[in-house]
Structure 1
Amino acid sequence: MRFEEAYEGCKSGCLTQAEAALLLGVCDRTFRRYRCKYAAGGLEALLDKRLTQASHRCAPVDEVMQLTEQYQRRYSDWNAKHFHTWYRKDGGTRSYTWVKSCLQESGLIKRVKKRGAHRKRRERSLLSGMMIHQDGSTHEWVVNQKWDLIVTMDDATNEH
């Protein structure tokens, strides 16, 4: 409905293409594409068909049912990784992620909390001199002479 109002306003001359596009929250080029689609097929042509069509990669329902029944019948106390290795040995062709997602969606295995970050930020030390960082690097400060620069930094106060 909102597109039709913007389209009619643009057609009658009350709105420019840029204003109509701004009203819809799209760029001028997208509005021009919408106009061409609307002229060719009406409002039906503007609908996003990706939302209504099933994916061509979607697994058949009977395959999903067979997988869940196999897990319940024989492997119910196994985790997804171990089950997937036996699934592949039995002739299964799907990926580990797909198998795990199917088992999670059916409620047969629990979703596991993500692991923490590898390197966690630590709190600074509270007392001066408690933790000292030292770094050394060689630079050519004077032509043809390389000297070492040693920096010592206090963790608590950032003093160098």
Structure 2
Amino acid sequence: MREVITMTLKAQKRAKILEMVKNKKIKQKDAAIILGICRRQLIRIFKEYLSKGDEALNHKLIGKPGNHRISSDIKEKIMQIVRNNYKGFKPTFIAEKLYEEHHIKIGASTLRLWMMETGLWKKIRKTAKHRTRRPRKEHFGEMIQMDGSIHDWFGTGKEVCLMNMVDDATGTSYGLFDTGETTQVALQCLFDWIMKYGIPYSIYCDYKSLFYTKREATIEEQLAGKLPLTKFGEVCHRLGIEMIYAHSPQAKGLERWNGIHQDRLIAEMKLKNIKDIDSANRFLKEYYWEKNNRKFSKKPLSDEDFHIALMPDQDLRNYVCYTAECKVYRDYTIKFSKRIYQIEKKQPIAIKPGDNVILKTWLDGSIHIFKKNIELNFFEIDDYGRRVSA
């Protein structure tokens, strides 16, 4: 089994932007805005990039705990001070007071997240206001709008979902049908998009449960300083894709595209007597999207493509998948989702009972088990220890 090399996709993204600065295709101030860093930090990183190349972008603490990670004990002490002294005040103000009165320096954004986790702060909903049309992005791949449209697409009286992706700069579209707004169809759309165009810089979606979760962070997530994510959000995080949430359906602008598809796509499928999801998806892949993009896509304002290409040693199936952490039992088995997997004796890496491994379920349903990014040899068994035929 070959090793799966985990790359820092954040570094790849930075390299692409810095290369554009180097070639004078974008200005340093614009690059800083795109990367979400200050101008001074951009200049420092750019100088290192010019002298060391891609090596300068690989963080020296990759795979190690962050030096600045705040322990759960310290976090609890800070939150106790907030509860006792500053309940009802805004996070920015509290952060200032923590520094002035208690000599505790903490970012307002970090404090805001902690306060939201403990119910001490809620997002303030602003009153409705006049909306102006948002200017489209300048670069292909800079932002992909994504949403599901529930409709009686086949004219059978039964509603299904068209999961639709639209590039904000060009209007280039792609999508697939499913029974509903499922994680599976969203991941399959993202997988197909990346295989064709590359990894997009960001995805613009709404606060639906597919993309956003309101659940509280688990103890493990809290200790690791991680925010709770949906399965789709986990995949985007692995790929380095920024998720941007729209506060209204109108903000995304996908309603116009859904209207176009409800007119044109329904008519096209009716002419071909397409009445089921499998036939419709074949039609979309083989005919509809190519025709639709030729007709409706526009030339971007900038010729620079913001998609990140996959490296030759990157297997996209190991990124766009479902993952779970499992423990190896004394009999060298792994149990997951009411199924049992037997770890074979011969392995490319040492394995012993008690080890934690990562079980990945690819979009095709196949199971793959890894330790330290190295795939293990295994087979499935039943409750009696008999090998299950594939």
In which range does the TM-score fall when normalised by the shorter chain? Answer: 0.3 to 0.5
Q: Higher relative contact order by CA 8 Å / sep ≥ 6: 1 or 2?
A: 2
Q: Which has the larger radius of gyration?
A: 1
